[in-house]
Amino acid sequence: MATLGGCDMEPAQPPDPVADAAYATARARMVHDQIAARGVTDARVLGAMARVPRHEFVSAAQRRLAYEDGPLPIGHGQTISQPYIVAFMTAALDPKPDHRVLEIGTGSGYQAAVLSGLVAEVYSIEIVEPLALRAAEDLKRLGHANVKVRVGDGYLGWPEAAPFDAIIVTCAPEQVPQALVEQLRTGGRMIIPVGSQWGGQELVLLRKTARGLEKREVLPVRFVPMVGGNRRP
């Protein structure tokens, strides 16, 4: 069958109500056991995690693992994040229905799909073109019409669409990119893993206030590195 950009994903399967019901049950268990049990309480976020079919964002080979408690490979050396981390980061943004959100690191498109049901618009940037193309197609197929995907270096943000009410970064730069701070609305929040592959990374929650940036380290994490513009010469 045709593949997009040399990826190992196959086109959509025909509808299967029995499988869909089993996936919904697995998802409900995921929300209860992995996410709510670890302290994410935002009802809208839990609702989105219970609705978005994570199995649609992984390959057929990974599908039976889609609701397990961990990251999964999505090709090109990248991963879809652990469900708990997706929920934690989403809740940290305090998403509102009128928000416009920027995501750096589209990957599979799953995080963008979760946000899509919670906010007005999602802008997502992915540096690996085949991943961006595949995610855009999956998001469209699943009806997430309020997500725009662009191929590019997220280090530079998406200036034409700024300012954003919230920014979520799902790959780790060594420092917070200044362009992203500039593209955040005053009062807005950014959640971003900062650090190196070796020295450890911290998930940092930033709030841009009229008096400056408030910064809080909230969780030790391990994300793939942000590549591109932040590379040292």
Residues acting as catalytic residues: 81
Q: CA 231 to CA 233: how far, in whole Å? A: 6
Nearer to ligand SAH, 17 or 77 (CB): 77
Q: From edge to edge, which strands make up the β-sheet containing 200-209?
A: 147-151, 121-126, 100-104, 164-169, 184-196, 200-209, 212-221
Give Cα separations from 95 to 59, 116, 146, 167, 232 (angstroms): 29, 10, 15, 10, 34
Q: What is the SS3 assignment for 105?
A: coil
90 binds ligand SAH, rule: CB under 6 A: no
Confirm or reject binding of residue 67 to ligand SAH (CB under 6 A).
no
Our CB check for ligand SAH shows the closer of 56 and 165 to be 56
Q: Residue 171, interface with ligand SAH (CB under 6 A)?
A: yes
Decide if 120 contacts 97 (C-beta within 8 A).
yes
Bridge partners, 151 (sequence order): 126
Cβ proximity to ligand SAH: between 69 and 214 the closer is 69
Examine residue 125 and tell whether it contacts ligand SAH (CB under 6 A): yes
Q: Is 219 one of the binding residues for ligand SAH (CB under 6 A)?
A: no
Exactly one of 42, 94, 153, 174 binds ligand SAH (CB under 6 A); which one?
153
Phi and psi at residue 14, to the nearest 5°: -65, 155
Pick the binder of ligand SAH from 170, 183, 184, 195 (CB under 6 A).
170
Residues that bind ligand SAH (CB under 6 A): 78-81, 104-105, 107-108, 110-111, 125-128, 131, 153-155, 170-171, 224, 226-228
